[in-house]
Structure 1
Amino acid sequence: MVSDIEKATQFVVTIEPKGDNDNIPSDAKILVGDFKGTSAQLSFSSVVADLTNVSGQFFLATPTDNVNGVDNGNDEFGVWFRNSAGEEGLSLPSLAKGWKYEGWVEFDGKTLSTGTFSKTNVTDDGNFYKGSGGTVPAFPGEDFLVIPNQVPLTGITLPAKVTGKKKLLLLNPFRIMTLLHFL
């Protein structure tokens, strides 16, 4: 209604789930701006996070199949967002409600997720391709060792080496913004 638009003080663009018909905006805001007259200057960083000072590093390892903590020498199959001293490897801002980070590795044009996470010092929600007998570290990352039955996967054979592959860190719920690109 015209009267509602004239009373508006803020313009907000959200990402809504497929099939959403409830007319309630989701928490996944991507742009917001206050009206000044009949226009609004829209901003991404004030809604999701200020991404100007992000940094990160990763460490190659496969801790999920290191039985009794013994390194089995296949570290080229795993990538973990931590540094070589075993500390957090990512410096990322906290995200607004409705958003998460997600790590990816590109294998010859196909990508596999390392999982989503909100904090850089805890295990992410992935670890689909992990080995057995070892432990999952308290950092985002993944060992690309086995294909579980519940994950349909074509065009990639595991174990798969992550050396020389692109490692990406993206924002969810949409996957168009690359924050960090590791080689």
Structure 2
Amino acid sequence: MIKKTFLGLMALSLFAVSCSNDDDNNTSTTSDLTLNLQGLEALGNDYVYEGWIIVDGQPVSTGTFSSVSFPQTFPVSTAQLENATTFVLSIEPAIDPDPAPAATKLLAGDFSGNVANVNSDNIVVGSGSTISTLGASTGKYILATPTDMDDTNEASGVWFLDNTNAPNLVAGLSLPTLADGWKYEGWVVFDGTPISTGTFTSADSADDNATTSLFKGDAGNGPGYPGEDYLQNAPAGLSFPTDLKGRTVVISVEPYPDNSSAPFTLKPLAHMVPANAMDHTVIDMGDGPVETIMGSVTRN
């Protein structure tokens, strides 16, 4: 677990406007920095991963990469590498006019000797969050279609809320507050094709597509929680309304801005809707397939 003291350093240093100047750090001699990371996925053509070491409180780039095959080794100034306290991995635009790290930081860890054990837990999750890791997330949802006047297609919508004490509704998701550069996104997987329910940062308010969704009915935007009705304008190959029983519901963590229309690697919650699921009845989610990304970074 990355210590809170490290998070304070990150807040002061990683958002610095300028990076260390090679001319001031005697960079004529280089040493190897080797990354051995697990769980990364390719970002596509528009984004790359970029490594950073923190030297005297300032971020110094160790290079960009697109391949997610490891180990990978990068030449880095020996003087800077010897004085580095922390390693950070960010997601950057492939064409990036800004020399500083982007807000979307995925992995971090402090060096202990020549090794930094890095993970996503305390860099994706915000420092002020009351839930410390994505692995501590819990979720509930119901099947319902509140955005039309037809009560015969209730299994064609999913809403991340708890109506146990209806008419009083509460959030169905208990999630960490994310750091800058990240958002949550809900999904339903239709025969291998994930269709978004919308992105959000707060589990107790409507998601970002509440007023712009093409799938909802014409009777309103739905309750003030993340969710979606799949009632019209189905993508090619699908037919709406449908029945979500037997399909998988997922909550992912997405870079913002997003690198892809598909779900990102981090998926803390998932659940296959039971075949006997009842409409308007709370269903518990389970752990997702990827709650954290980790690896090691070695200097030598």
Coarse TM-score class (shorter-chain normalised): 0.7 to 0.9
> In 2, distance between residues paired with 1:117 and 1:18?
25
Provide the secondary structure at the position in 1 that maps to 2:253. strand
Question: Post-superposition shift, 1:21?
Answer: 4.1
User: What is residue 31 of structure 2 aligned with on the other side?
Assistant: none
> Is 2:106 the counterpart of 1:17?
no
**Share of identical aligned residues, percent?**
41
Query: What amino acid is aligned across from residue 268 of structure 2 in structure 1?
Result: L
Counterparts of 1:115-130 in structure 2 under 5 Å? 115-127=198-210, 128=213, 129-130=215-216
Alignment of 1:11-160 (within 5 A): 11-49=87-125, 50-66=133-149, 72-85=151-164, 86-127=169-210, 128=213, 129-147=215-233, 153-160=235-242
CA displacement, residues 8-53 of structure 1 (integer Å, 9 cap, x when unaligned): 3221001113432422211111111122343322121111121222
**Counterpart AA for 1:20:** D
Distance 1:141 1:59 in 2: 9
Q: TM-score normalized by structure 2?
A: 0.55
Is the contact made by 1:65 and 1:135 (CA closer than 8 Å) also made in structure 2? Answer: no
SS in 2 for 1:16: strand
- Higher radius of gyration, 1 or 2: 2
Q: What is the TM-score when the length of structure 1 is the normalising length? A: 0.87
Unaligned residue ranges in structure 1 (runs of 5+): none
Letter in 1 for 2:251: L
CA distance in 1, matches of 2:221, 2:102: 36
Q: CA deviation at 1:162?
A: 1.4
What corresponds to 2:5 in structure 1? Answer: none
Runs of 4+ in 1 over 3 A off after TM superposition: 3-7
Name the counterpart of 1:4. 80
Q: Distance in 2 between matches of 1:107 and 1:34?
A: 41
**Pairwise CA RMSD of aligned residues?**
1.8
Unaligned runs of 5+ in 2: 1-26, 28-76, 126-132, 256-262, 273-300
Q: 2-side partners of 1:79 and 1:18: how far apart? A: 36
- Bigger proportion of residues as strand: 2
Q: Deviations over 1:126-167 (max 9, x none)?
A: 24211102342111110001118xxxx322122222122100
For this pair of structures, how many residues does the alignment match? 175
1:176 equivalent in structure 2: 265
CA contact (8 A) 1:144 1:161 kept: no
Q: Structure 2 CA distance, aligned partners of 1:87 and 1:99?
A: 23
SS of aligned partner of 1:57: strand
CA contact (8 A) 1:58 1:79 kept: yes
Output the CA distance in 2 between the equivalents of 1:56 and 1:46. Answer: 21
Partners of 1:101 and 1:60 in 2: how far apart? 20
